[in-house]
Chains A and B, each alone.
Chain A
Amino acid sequence: MSVHEQFAEDLALYALGTLPGGERLALEKHLEGCASCRRELEVVRGDLAVVALTANGPRPPARSRQRLVSAIAKEPRTSVAPAAAAARTEPSRTFAWWGVLGWAAALGLVLVAISLMRTNSALERNLASLKAQFGDQEAKLRQANDILATLIDPEAKKIELVAAGSKPQPRGKAIYRRQSRGLIFLASSLPQLPPEKIYELWLFPADGGAPIAAGLFRPDSRGNATVVNPPLPEGVEAKNFAVTLEPESGSHESPRGTAVIVGAGE
């Protein structure tokens, strides 16, 4: 035997796993640098493995397998990919794996299926939850659309209520939300447009900047008109709104005509 004699007895105990702490550490240190003692250790372990492999005893009870099934089902196997890669490059090793593990490997396949089923159930629950959320959002959206449709539908009956006995005057109401650049403008009793003229809505910024064009519009035969969400620059705080009568052609970048209605702001 090529093993260092002074370590031979400790090596036997180490292979048995019964060498106590201090001696164990000393031997492990020696093993790090001694290939012949490492080789001897492998052989002694092999001999001891033969003793184990030739021992006859009871078969593992069926419940062991069931326990393993349950335990593995509870945790996803994270290293499937490296194992698969190894399988591609070293088929003989993979064969040994499956051959030796036998039932455990077969169980693995079953467990992957179980795991997939569980994942599938979780996804189905998520889908149901999303469907419920979507249904809720859809109902809210439908409600908002109904409100908007009522407000802007040219066919909707729009009646302005004024002081009894007085004549309706041109009026407008602008509802503006800076964060979303949302603007709804409703006008009533506007005079009919002269030829080659058009109404234009303007936003007057709170910072005193130049008025911003907020949409051209023509009222219906009763003087009603709406402007909904015209394109506006981002984040502009509005101080006021006004409607002017502008030439139909030419630039509409800045007010040129006379004001028809002007807001007071808030």
Chain B
Amino acid sequence: MTAIRPLCTVALRVLQETSAAEDVLQDIFMQLWRNPGAFDASRGNMGAWLAVIARHRAIDALRKRKPEDDFENVVVSVEPDLASDADRSRAMAKVKEAFEWMSAQQRAALEMAYFEGLTHAEIAEKTGEPLGTIKTRIRTGLLSLRKVLAA
């Protein structure tokens, strides 16, 4: 149950609408039900894999487009696997720290891309900043996240 909750959260953060988030989760679980072989251990940690799929599908739904990723093509690498509450608490603290370390602009660009599914062009238009700057901010924001998570 605890693994399902973040999926619901991330879909809801992207879509801002409970029923749309439910649709996305239902769609994912139905696909898994029909084809349980879509996930195997080589694709990484199950919870992380589902989180990536849920977010991507939520963005696809937000943009009213067909899913761009096949389940089978998504491979996710997460260490540790966050299966225990202790691992998860530590990771939560690290993510919080990483976002605090980012500049306000980096954080804003990353959140717009992550939770709103905006492209860098849309973020540039929204913020009035150059495309290249937004791309760099997103990448450096992710590098900051990596640095903290790997520490």
Binding site for B on A (CB under 8 A): 8-10, 12-13, 15-20, 24, 38-39, 41-61, 63-64, 67-68, 71-72, 75, 77-79, 82-83, 86, 90, 92-93, 96-97, 99-104, 108
Known: A9-B136, A18-B119, A67-B22. A53 touches B37 (CB 8 A): no
The answer to whether A50 and B46 touch across the interface, beta carbons within 8 angstroms, is no
The answer to whether A13 and B120 touch across the interface, beta carbons within 8 angstroms, is yes
Number of interface residues of B (CB under 8 A): 70
The answer to whether A60 and B4 touch across the interface, beta carbons within 8 angstroms, is yes
Contact check: which of B26, B45, B46, B47 meets A68 at CB < 8 Å?
B26
The answer to whether B95 and A46 touch across the interface, beta carbons within 8 angstroms, is no
Known: A43-B77, A54-B88, A54-B92. A49 touches B135 (CB 8 A): no
Contact check: which of A8, A9, A54 meets B95 at CB < 8 Å?
A54
Known: A53-B6, A83-B36. A17 touches B77 (CB 8 A): no
Interface mask (B7-44 → A, CB under 8 Å = 1, otherwise 0): 11110110000100010011001101111110111001
List 10 A-B pairs, Cβ < 8 Å: A13-B120, A17-B69, A46-B78, A49-B48, A50-B149, A57-B12, A60-B4, A97-B36, A100-B50, A101-B32
Known: A16-B138, A45-B74, A79-B34. A102 touches B7 (CB 8 A): no
The answer to whether A47 and B117 touch across the interface, beta carbons within 8 angstroms, is no
In angstroms, how far is the closest chain B Cβ from the Cβ of A72? 6
Closest residue on chain B to residue A51 by CB atoms: B95
Q: Which of A8, A52, A67, A68 has the most CB of B within 10 A?
A: A52
Known: A18-B113, A18-B120, A48-B114. A57 touches B6 (CB 8 A): yes
Closest residue on chain A to residue B4 by CB atoms: A60
The answer to whether B49 and A49 touch across the interface, beta carbons within 8 angstroms, is yes
For chain B, residues 73 to 100, give those with C-beta under 8 angstroms from any C-beta of chain A.
74-79, 82-83, 88, 91-92, 94-95
Given A50-B95, A54-B82, A57-B9, 12 new contacts (CB under 8 A): A17-B56, A18-B59, A18-B118, A45-B48, A46-B79, A50-B48, A56-B9, A57-B6, A58-B12, A77-B34, A86-B37, A104-B33
Shortest beta-carbon contacts, A-B, top 9: A57-B9, A49-B48, A52-B51, A42-B77, A46-B78, A54-B92, A46-B77, A52-B10, A49-B51
The answer to whether A9 and B76 touch across the interface, beta carbons within 8 angstroms, is no
Could you tell me the distance between the alpha carbons of A264 and B53 in the complex, rounded to whole angstroms?
A: 87
* B104 at the A interface (CB under 8 A): no
Residues of B within 8 A of A19 (CB): 119
Contact check: which of A10, A45, A55, A90 meets B76 at CB < 8 Å?
A45
Residues of B within 8 A of A16 (CB): 113-114, 138
Residues of B within 8 A of A101 (CB): 3-4, 29, 32
* B142 at the A interface (CB under 8 A): yes
Known: A49-B52, A78-B34. A100 touches B44 (CB 8 A): no
Residues of A within 8 A of B66 (CB): none
The answer to whether B41 and A71 touch across the interface, beta carbons within 8 angstroms, is no
The answer to whether A20 and B68 touch across the interface, beta carbons within 8 angstroms, is no
The answer to whether A13 and B138 touch across the interface, beta carbons within 8 angstroms, is yes
Closest residue on chain B to residue A82 by CB atoms: B37
The answer to whether B18 and A61 touch across the interface, beta carbons within 8 angstroms, is yes
Could you tell me the distance between the alpha carbons of A63 and B76 in the complex, rounded to whole angstroms?
A: 30
Contact check: which of B22, B30, B59 meets A64 at CB < 8 Å?
B22
Closest residue on chain A to residue B118 by CB atoms: A18
Residues of A within 8 A of B54 (CB): 52
In angstroms, how far is the closest chain A Cβ from the Cβ of B62? 10
